[in-house]
Amino acid sequence: IYPNPVSDYLNISANLESIENSKIVIYDVLGKKIYENTELFSNTNQAQIDMSSFNKGIYLVEISKGSVVETKKIIKK
């Protein structure tokens, strides 16, 4: 997940086998879901999320596939 801090576009890349058909959810610092996508990694191991309209602050990016969940903290500047 890069760049961090992010200005406009957040890039996510990983091994295709581990990321394919994953669900991406972004929460604000209060825990409110502000973005969700289950088709971002349909046939690719790289994706881009437009965060240009998000307010400045701290966000949590949750990537889940089955029972595996990984959460990363990012800063929107």
- Report yes or no on whether pTM surpasses 0.75: yes
At residue 45, the pLDDT reads 85
Residues 6+ apart with CB under 8 A from 51: 6, 8, 9, 10, 59, 76
pLDDT digits (tens, 9 = 90+) for 4-36: 999 999 999 988 777 888 999 999 999 999 999
Give me the chain's average pLDDT, please.
93
At residue 17, the pLDDT reads 79
Report which of 13, 17, 9 is spatially closest to residue 1, judged by C-alpha positions: 13
